[in-house]
Structure 1
Amino acid sequence: MPPGERLVQKISSTRAFARCAPHVIPALDRAVHRLTRGKVLLSAQLLPGVILSATGARSGLVRRTPLACMPEEGGTWVLVGSNFGRPGHPAWTGNLLKYPDAEVSWHGRDIPVRARLLTGAERERAWRAVLAFWPPYAAYQARVEREIRLFRLERR
């Protein structure tokens, strides 16, 4: 584990982080991503990240959302709808449920993807992998009654 990562994991597990992070981190990510023409995501300095472009479930407009992700062998990604351990599902998960065809910006490349909500044994395997990848997700799940949604993004 790189120096300081344990401290960052501890901080990111707190309720105070959950209150402020959703307002600060995405705004910083969008700005840095735009300024670097898609080459850098600030939050990806700690966790890999994508910019998800998905159609809004209610508006029908394209919504761009910076998200941490867990890259998998074979060129797929798992997205975790943790919402930083806040009660409701994040809006982007509802967008993917209604419109699973989307696009991710990954290392400066735009890649068309199809999202699939993971359920059952497949979700359990992915959840174990996600917890090994970033343990603070366990604290997020413990704070909420809902099951955190996991999506696998596959290239179209």
Structure 2
Amino acid sequence: MDRARMVQRMSSTRGFAKVAPYVVPALDRTVHRLTGGRKMLSDQMLPGVVLTAKGAKTGLERRTPLACMPEEGGTWLLVGSNFGKPGHPAWTANLRRHPEAVISWKGEEIPVTARQLAGAEREEAWQAVLGFWPPYAVYQSRVERRLRLFRLERR
């Protein structure tokens, strides 16, 4: 089994879903800070960004390391998978309330506007995301909610 398939299989397990939300973001923040924003530990699995967005309730800045799918043309897709756990991740509520945000992408701070996808546009993007990272299908199968999908565009 190649490395990519092994990582995908491991990330689809319930054990990973229990541990990852606590371990992966903390490690990503540390590696991101130590490399001046150029790298994250989870880059070994998927490309990632650090999203800085205002909190939906507090309005305070929140920094969240997230996996992403870069698209041709300079946009990024973010999936609110929460590792297949119940409940939407907080960062999705933040973007819905305050769509103007900043991402750290490969050491560059980029102002973006987030747009939650719906309808045919969402379905097309969802198929692309599944081709890019098949474990998202497993995450979706574990929850009754529909995973939120956002496209980030440069401002």
Paired residue total:
155
Residues 30-109 of structure 1 mapped to structure 2, 5 A cutoff? 30-109=29-108
1:154, CA displacement in angstroms? 0.2
- Whole-angstrom CA distance in 2 between matches of 1:44 and 1:8: 12
Q: What secondary structure is seen at the aligned counterpart in 2 of 1:150?
A: strand
Which whole-Å deviations, capped at 9, do the CAs of 1:44-94 have from their partners, x for residues lacking one?
122110000000001111000000000000000000000000010000000
Give the letter aligned to residue 137 of structure 2.
A
Q: Which residue of 2 aligns with 1:27?
A: 26
Q: Which residue of 2 aligns with 1:120?
A: 119
Q: Which residue of 2 aligns with 1:145?
A: 144
- Whole-angstrom CA distance in 2 between matches of 1:105 and 1:137: 23
1:37, CA displacement in angstroms? 1.0
- Whole-angstrom CA distance in 2 between matches of 1:27 and 1:94: 21
Give the letter aligned to residue 106 of structure 1.
W
TM-score, with structure 2 as normaliser: 0.98
Structure 2: gaps (5+ residues): none
- Whole-angstrom CA distance in 2 between matches of 1:155 and 1:6: 32
1:3, CA displacement in angstroms? 2.8
| Stretch moving more, 39-48 or 126-135 | 39-48
Q: What secondary structure is seen at the aligned counterpart in 2 of 1:78?
A: strand
Which whole-Å deviations, capped at 9, do the CAs of 1:24-45 have from their partners, x for residues lacking one?
0000000010111111111012
Structure 1: gaps (5+ residues): none
1:13, CA displacement in angstroms? 0.6
- How big is the alpha-carbon RMSD for the aligned residues of Structure 1 and Structure 2? 0.9
Q: What secondary structure is seen at the aligned counterpart in 2 of 1:60?
A: coil
| Stretch moving more, 116-125 or 3-12 | 3-12
- Whole-angstrom CA distance in 1 between matches of 2:148 and 2:106: 24
1:13 aligns with 2:12: yes
1:151, CA displacement in angstroms? 0.1
- Whole-angstrom CA distance in 1 between matches of 2:44 and 2:11: 14
